[in-house]
Amino acid sequence: MKKKRYAIVLDTRRCIDCKACTVACKAENDVPLGDDKFRNWVSEEPLRGRYPNLGQSFAPSQCNQCENPPCNSVCPTSATGITAGGIVTVNPDKCIGCKYCMLACPYDARYFNEETGVIDKCTFCIQRIAVGRIPACVETCPTKVRTFGDLNDPNSEVSLLLAKNRYRVLKPELGTKPFLFYLI
């Protein structure tokens, strides 16, 4: 069987900033309470125009599961690694909580979990993938902004979406090779 490469495709035009994804992620992954503790987030983009001609977009985001993750190379204990499916993970046994990776991540996707004493981040809900379920944020999203799947499968929903639509990734200039794709 071919190796899998997981990705999430986001159609932000459908995002209503309801933050279901954020709460779902916190509950699913036991992310501690605290408004600086989260694996995913939705930013309100700045208001465009002036009253009464206004526009606004909402931008959901999380770890990009980069192919070249800068967080990986700075980790002094090799706690950060890339697992099957291309998912960037933190091994809690090796992590010493030095936070170098938090600074290195250009997407600010990591936080320090005081309850476990280690760095934590989005894992595409690896525990759900393992039992054949899709990530919590993807499943719960009311307007189906998010689509999850295997980019190595040309017939997966994510592959089809990227074949059919124009898209962009965040900060491509950094050469991180992100696997969150935003449709335009």
Partner 1 sequence: MSRLIDKKLSRRRFLGTSTCALATATVGSQARVLKALAESGEVTTSKVAGSKDVFTACGMCVNKCGVIARVRDGRIHKLDPNPDYIKSRGMLCARGNAGVKVVYDPDRLKYPLIRAGKRGEGKWRRASWDEALDLVAKKMNAIAEKYTRAGVMFASTEGTFQEHFFLQMAECFGSPNTVRHPTLCLSSNIQGFSATYGTFPTPDVLNSDYIIMAGANRSEALITPDSIDQLKGDGGRRKLVYIDPRFTKTAAKADEWLPIKPGTDMAFVLAMIHVIVAEGLYAKDFVETLTVGFDKLVPHIKPYTPEWAEKECEIPARDIRRIAREFAKAAPKAVFYPGRRSSFADDDVQLRRAMAILNAVIGNWDTEGGLVPNSKIKLQKHDYLAPWYDDVPERIDKGSAVFLSEKDGSWTAMRDRILAGKPYPVKGMMIYKQNVVMSVPNRAKTLKMMDQMDFICTIDITMSDTAWYSDVVLPEATYLERQDPLESLSGILPVVAFRQPCIEAMFESKPNLWIMQNLAKRLGSEIAETFDFTMDDLIHHQVSKNPKILKDLKSNGVHYMKVLPTYGLTRGKRLRTKTGKIEIYSANYAKKGLDPLPVYTKHAEVPAGKFRLLVGRNAYFTHWTTANNAYLHELMPENTLWLNTTSAKKLGLIDGQKVKVKSPVGEGTLKLEVTDKIRPDCVYMAHGFGVLSKGQSLIYGVGACDAALIEEKLEPISGNVAMHQTFVEVSPA
Q: Does 106 bind partner 1 (CB under 8 A)?
A: no
Q: How many helices (H) and strands (E) does the chain have?
A: 6, 12
- 71 is a contact residue toward ligand SF4 (CB under 6 A): no
Q: Is 49 left (phi over 0), alpha (psi -120 to 50) or beta?
A: left
CA distances from 37 to 30, 34, 149, 172 (A): 10, 5, 26, 26
CB 135 within 8 A of CB 128: yes
Size (the chain), residues: 184
Listed ranges 9-17, 81-89, 96-104, 165-173: which one lies at the site for ligand SF4 (CB under 6 A): 9-17
Binders in 25-64 for partner 1, by CB under 8 A: 26-36, 38, 41-44, 47, 49-52, 54-58
Options 12, 89, 147, 159; binder of partner 1; rule CB under 8 A: 89
The stretch among 70-78, 83-91, 164-172, 173-181 that binds partner 1 (CB under 8 A) is 83-91
Q: Which residues bind ligand SF4 (CB under 6 A)?
A: 15-21, 24-25, 28-29, 39-40, 42, 60, 62, 122-125, 135-137, 141-143, 145-146
